[in-house]
């Protein structure tokens, strides 16, 4: 893990940022539900790197957390980020902590159905979630579930 962190971090303990001048000979090598993957030659490092460019499209499923786009990181926060829908009730994990146990059975059944619908949608888009857990299922004010997929 330290090796990975050391490779990603540049000066001032910030994630390395790359621009068009440092990346040459872009070739698309794959596509997925979130974006396209390219191979490019890095000028200074002298070897090929992989770059994932996220699609601009927005998911349209009421059971998947909406991703609006990317934050460029030029203002108060210098790092880039993901701009997504805000869910007022937090996650199912937060709900269980607040209730000091599992939700009532009828609510649990509805949440299970909503999570399954969100996962079915992601799979129809060719996306394999790989990290489905209570913290990654967010809740609306009305306690409807949305799968967080990023």
User: Residue 32 has which token pair?
Assistant: 């997925």
- DSSP of 64-92, one letter per residue? B--EEEEE---SS--S-EEEE---TT-BH
The count of domains in the chain is 2
Measured in residues, the chain has a length of: 150
Do 75 and 31 share a domain, yes or no?
Answer: no
Same domain, 73 and 137: yes
Do 74 and 49 fall into the same domain?
A: no
Looking up residue 86, the CATH number of its domain turns out to be 1.10.510.10
pLDDT band at 5 (very low <50, low <70, confident <90, very high): very low
52 is in an annotated binding site: yes
In a shared domain, residues 9 and 39: yes
Does residue 141 fall inside a structural domain?
A: yes
pLDDT at 139: 97
21 is in which domain, residue-wise? 2-54
pLDDT of residue 91: 95
Q: Annotated active-site positions, please?
A: 131
Res. 2 pLDDT band, cuts 50 70 90: very low
Same domain, 71 and 50: no
Does residue 59 lie within any of the structural domains? no
pLDDT, one tens digit per residue, over 91-109 is: 999 999 999 999 999 999 9
């Amino acid at each position: 893990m330290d090796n990975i962190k050391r490779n990603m971090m540049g000066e001032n303990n910030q994630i390395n940022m790359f621009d068009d001048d440092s990346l040459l000979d872009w070739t698309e090598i794959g596509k997925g539900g979130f974006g396209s993957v390219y191979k490019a030659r890095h000028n200074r490092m002298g070897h090929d790197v992989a770059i994932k460019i996220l699609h601009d499209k927005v998911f349209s499923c009421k059971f998947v957390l909406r991703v609006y786009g990317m934050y460029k990181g030029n203002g108060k926060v210098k790092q880039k980020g993901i701009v997504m829908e805000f869910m007022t009730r937090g996650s199912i994990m937060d709900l269980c902590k607040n209730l000091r146990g599992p939700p009532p059975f009828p609510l649990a059944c509805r949440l299970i159905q909503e999570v399954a619908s969100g996962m079915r949608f992601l799979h129809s888009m060719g996306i394999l979630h790989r990290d489905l857990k209570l913290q990654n299922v967010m809740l609306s004010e009305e306690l409807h579930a949305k799968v967080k997929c990023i």
